[in-house]
Structure 1
């Protein structure tokens, strides 16, 4: 019983609480923050295994907050299929013994996401190109997800470029994140990365994640969303650079 109050477990709980706050304020970012922080104290595969249940619970809720699930699934099914295939193909990196390569990959993905979000101009994807781009975007997202535990690049910029309404965009992000989480869990399980301790901690991490989301939602209207987003992305970039440089120091 005392193991659940060890400094290691308390750090995990605090990480998911902070990640939940970010998701509550920004509507996304829980897996990104959790992977970035936890990978500083454990291997990326361990961090990813802890992420699965909190990510699934929070994103599954987000998926069904809107009314257009079936329409979005019909429109984006090729992208979702690509995510599953890419994740299963890329998960060998997380579950292999090459933890240094996984850390560098995770750090690079964090830096790429932060830099793109800070400086890239919004894109617009014509409807006629969706049929060709969706599977490619899904496959790329899946490979990055399988190799690093992050499923935001390039899925988030692509979905934002489709011209969806605000409610449909939130639901589409929930769909993409939910499928990515399920595919990541399958890839980790196939690689033997799950064990009872991690599953238990992952389930318990749902509690601080939801508490953090509640706090983040409560403070959303009291802070500048632009300022919060800027410093959040800078924080991710610093985390990413630390992960990239760690094998060389």
Structure 2
């Protein structure tokens, strides 16, 4: 693929991914990776989504406010997440493309299931710290493999019956914390080259442009219908990734 055509396709993908996140509040890495893996290997696709993830999560954290209180509240989850992201990247450095495709597809299907069934049993009294460590650990493993770590954190926050504003604040902080070892790990393992870093950095522009478009569309569309349409697309893409892994 010619360089300009390559960059143009990536621009459109991240414009769409940003729009999805702006419209329904989730799905930036899921959308971008599902589309990029149609033309790129998983490691390259994940490396290109890293800088937009880092910037968009920082922006979400900044806009949510009261960061220090959220940091104190979710410290066990944040530490567990960061440690397991770093450990997973090192331990799976030689993972095959087939394994990564399968894990990415499975993570997307879990993401869809969690988003549809938005009620989970509450955490027993006195078990919050343990639940945070477990959720952070599982999210770190998924994040280190695929850069998609939302399902375990969403399950934990839903089990706490977290209000919407707190949910956005917590996910913004936790996603940002997880992004730090993810970016550092991909650079140290050589998955992100200098050229890849510059391309990833440039994709912040369509990501934020798409986010603004999505926020504008949010009030004009049926959020519920659009959300389920997006999840249906994710389900199809997740199944296709698993098919590719099996047939690779």
Q: TM-score band, normalised by the shorter chain?
A: over 0.9
More moved, 200-209 vs 160-169: 160-169
Do the aligned partners of residues 138 and 34 (structure 1) sit closer, same or farther apart at CA in structure 2, a change above 3 Å counting? same
Match for residue 188 of structure 1 among 186, 189, 192: 186
Do the aligned partners of residues 47 and 95 (structure 1) sit closer, same or farther apart at CA in structure 2, a change above 3 Å counting? farther
Is residue 78–residue 135 contact of structure 1 (8 Å, CA) maintained in 2? yes
Is residue 87–residue 180 contact of structure 1 (8 Å, CA) maintained in 2? yes
Do the aligned partners of residues 167 and 120 (structure 1) sit closer, same or farther apart at CA in structure 2, a change above 3 Å counting? closer
Residue equivalent to 1:247: 245
More moved, 98-107 vs 5-14: 5-14
Q: Which runs of 5+ in 2 are unaligned?
A: none
Provide the rounded CA distance (Å) in 2 between the counterparts of 1:229 and 1:94.
33
Do the aligned partners of residues 123 and 9 (structure 1) sit closer, same or farther apart at CA in structure 2, a change above 3 Å counting? farther
Provide the rounded CA distance (Å) in 1 between the counterparts of 2:92 and 2:23.
29
Q: Which runs of 5+ in 1 are unaligned?
A: none
Do the aligned partners of residues 5 and 195 (structure 1) sit closer, same or farther apart at CA in structure 2, a change above 3 Å counting? closer
Match for residue 204 of structure 2 among 206, 227, 231: 206
Match for residue 162 of structure 1 among 160, 163, 171: 160
SS in 2 for 1:222: coil
Match for residue 149 of structure 1 among 147, 150, 161: 147
Query: Matches of residues 95-244 of structure 1 in structure 2 within 5 Å?
Result: 95-96=93-94, 98-119=96-117, 121-126=119-124, 128-244=126-242
Residue equivalent to 1:8: 6
Is residue 16–residue 209 contact of structure 1 (8 Å, CA) maintained in 2? yes
Provide the rounded CA distance (Å) in 2 between the counterparts of 1:222 and 1:120.
24
Is residue 119–residue 158 contact of structure 2 (8 Å, CA) maintained in 1? no
Is residue 24–residue 227 contact of structure 2 (8 Å, CA) maintained in 1? yes
Provide the rounded CA distance (Å) in 2 between the counterparts of 1:140 and 1:116.
14
The TM-score normalised by the length of structure 1 is 0.93
Query: Matches of residues 23-62 of structure 1 in structure 2 within 5 Å?
Result: 23-62=21-60
Provide the rounded CA distance (Å) in 2 between the counterparts of 1:149 and 1:240.
15
Provide the rounded CA distance (Å) in 2 between the counterparts of 1:67 and 1:247.
41
The root-mean-square deviation of aligned C-alpha atoms, in Å, is 1.8
Provide the rounded CA distance (Å) in 1 between the counterparts of 2:53 and 2:18.
10
Do the aligned partners of residues 101 and 65 (structure 1) sit closer, same or farther apart at CA in structure 2, a change above 3 Å counting? same
Provide the rounded CA distance (Å) in 1 between the counterparts of 2:62 and 2:198.
25
The TM-score normalised by the length of structure 2 is 0.93
Provide the rounded CA distance (Å) in 1 between the counterparts of 2:64 and 2:205.
24
Is residue 81–residue 138 contact of structure 1 (8 Å, CA) maintained in 2? yes
Is residue 118–residue 158 contact of structure 2 (8 Å, CA) maintained in 1? no
Report how many aligned residue pairs link the two structures. 247
